[in-house]
Chains A and B, each alone.
Chain A
Amino acid sequence: MSNPAEIIITVRDLKVGYGENVILQNVNFQVRHGEVFVILGGSGSGKSTLLKNLIGLYAPLEGEVWIEGGDLVAARGDERQDLLRKFGVTYQSGALFGSMSVLENVRLPLDELTALPGPLKELAALAKLKLVGLGAAAQKLPSELSGGMQKRAAIARAMALDPRILFLDEPSAGLDPVTAADLDLLITELAHHFGITFIIVTHDLASIYAIADRVIMLDGRSRTIVAEGRPAELRERATDPWVRRFFNREPDAVASGLHL
């Protein structure tokens, strides 16, 4: 239905931070349609801050974020609302609404933002739950689900309005390796079969090798992107010592304070 090489997100000269405190600057990248794009970085490198600027929760200090032909930074009013509906977001903790069942959580965007009749909303929400493998858990409350299931339910909710882009914040945080691998499989399947573009913030190396088409790496010290490319490439050929250490999971001796 759409051209696979189509560029769906363009980030230009983005500078993010809080007031005087600049966390990242000169951030430039593009994401193509159907790609699994990973934003990588150590703790405190500004990954989550960058994500919150990309999805419009925070206003960047400078720069542009173009999503499907509209600049989210400059957009106001209805135009901004339309842009916000072009993507779905899942948060680190899942952020499901605790007082509603899983099905009600997934139905919520359909209830609030479409004029669909009740049976169709229910059908559409159940189909999304089946897709993430949670059909049988539809009537449960989020607190009755395991961590992995909550993440899946959050993905189903983010997909309720069929966005072409999904932003995931640390999807594998707090999951055991098997559950995390299941989630990786779901992400690759959604990307390949449904043409959904993923922008994923993570520092989980195993899942990066499994799912990422392309990676950008942020560094808290130089406050910008220090590497970009395929994960395997970066592991083999990165020139930056910090990137190499990260991909090979080598400790930073200074950090331990033991000086053995």
Chain B
Amino acid sequence: MTAAAENDLETDVQVGTDGHARVVLRGRLDARTAATCWNRLEQALRVSKLEQLEVDASGLIFCDGAGLALLRYLSMGLMTLGATVSMRGLEPGLEQIFRGFTPEDYEAFRPPVRVKCHPLPEEVGNAVRQAASDLREQVEFLGSIMGKMLPTLLDRKQMRWPEVRRVFELAGANAVPIVSLVSVLVGLIIAFESAQPLAQFGAQIFVVNMIGLVMVRELGPLLAAILLAGRSGSAFAAEIGTMKVNEELDALQTLGLDPIRFLVIQRITAAILLTPLLTFYATFLGVLGGVLVALGLGFPLPLIFHQLSSSLRLSDIGLGVAKGVVFGAIVSAVGCMRGLQTQEGPSAVGVSTTRAVVTSIVLIIIADAVFSVLFYFLTR
């Protein structure tokens, strides 16, 4: 044994001209040395067509699972295809472990090398069927909420107002800082970006009209709803989804309590109560951002107020708040529905929260479009 052998492996390969090769291993064959040994053997053995390979393992002082894997790979002839392999000198205890895993085992347990691929029509069909059944579930869910909302609201015992208050605080009051920041910045950015093109026409003062209208009618409700979807819709889905995974929903049902009456109605009520306030707040701060830009451009405050009050009607504000109510109902209902739909498995809750946010935002935008058309015809 050589000096370096204490922690190392000595690999000795002799390849004869007659198609006969001999590998002698001495020292420690572990995960580290097996990797270097593999490279060494690859270079030496793959090049020539061998008929016979002899492996001498009598010099091994240590061999772990990775080392055994290398010996098995060699002895199965996978590195020297077509050659007969003989192994000798393995220490008896190791030999027994070595025999514990046979080439037949390897064949039987190996992962099959095939990729499952569905034809395109099948994929499309499945996607359509899923979308249709999802739509059906959404409608069913909407129906069951509609049916249970009023009776629950009227029944003080079932309504659990403290829970409504808790959700109101978590989803509403605690959202104020982030809503403030985002609204002010969005108002500021839009006013700032549009001030430059308007200046070309000498119409910079109309920045105020524009920001007022955009914020009150569109962006205020949208910002509040999207932030609510990200902060609270996802939280509803995660909360209810975790309860489902932990069998808490099953426990509720066996206690004779309906999850929709017990969990969902409270969240929707809280959301419907808080979104008008949140929308109003987001609108106010967004307009404030625009006003700050207008002040920076040198317009006096009374002029700015005059522009604002002349461009906005009361119906605009009513529209914004109405949008807020509808968006709030959408976000909370979708969050709860995705939570209740949670499947089994480790990623199920994550999937539910993602779906909650995505569905909420899609439905918010669709509802917004519907509102715009309705408002156009109503105020014509």
Contacts and interface: CB of A to CB of B under 8 A. Distances in A.
Given A114-B66, A116-B66, A136 B38 contact: no
B78 interface: yes
Interface in B54-111: 62, 64-66, 68-70, 72-73, 78, 97, 100-101, 105-106, 108-111
Contact of A139 (B30, B73, B111): B111
B347 interface: yes
A138 B69 contact: no
Interface residues of A, number: 34
B110 A122 contact: yes
A126 interface: yes
A260 interface: no
Given A117-B35, A117-B38, A98 B347 contact: yes
A22 interface: no
Contact of B108 (A123, A136, A143): A136
A135 interface: yes
A141 to B, nearest CB: 9
B94 to A, nearest CB: 9
Interface residues of B, number: 30
A115 interface: yes
Contacts of B66: 110, 114, 116, 120, 124, 162
Contacts of B78: 119
B32 A115 contact: yes
Contact of A1 (B62, B68, B110): B62
A138 B109 contact: yes
Contact of A130 (B109, B110, B346): B109
A102 to B, nearest CB: 10
B31 interface: yes
Contacts of B110: 122, 126, 138
A98 to B, nearest CB: 3
Contacts of A116: 31, 34-35, 38, 66, 69
B344 interface: yes
A104 B255 CA distance: 41
- The A interface, classified by DSSP as helix, strand, loop or mixed, is helix
B111 A99 contact: no
A110 B106 CA distance: 18
Given A123-B106, A127-B65, A127-B68, A161 B31 contact: yes
Interface in B1-59: 30-32, 34-35, 38
Contacts of A138: 109-111
B345 A120 contact: no
Contacts of A120: 34-35, 38, 66, 69-70, 73
A206 interface: no
Contacts of B35: 114-117, 120
Given A1-B62, A127-B101, A99 B346 contact: yes
Contacts of B111: 101, 103, 122, 138-139
Interface string B324-366: 0000000000000000000011110000000000000000000
Interface centre among A99, A126, A139, A160 (most CB of B within 10 A): A126
Contacts of A24: none
Given A117-B35, A127-B100, A130-B101, 5 more contacts: A116-B66, A120-B34, A126-B109, A130-B105, A162-B30
Q: Which 10 A-B pairs have the closest CB atoms?
A: A98-B346, A124-B69, A123-B69, A162-B64, A115-B35, A114-B31, A127-B101, A135-B109, A120-B69, A162-B65
21 contacts: A1-B62, A97-B346, A99-B346, A103-B109, A103-B111, A114-B32, A116-B35, A116-B66, A116-B69, A117-B38, A120-B73, A124-B65, A126-B109, A129-B109, A130-B100, A130-B105, A136-B108, A136-B109, A143-B346, A161-B65, A193-B97
Interface of A: 1, 97-99, 101, 103, 110, 114-117, 119-124, 126-131, 135-136, 138-139, 143, 159-162, 193-194
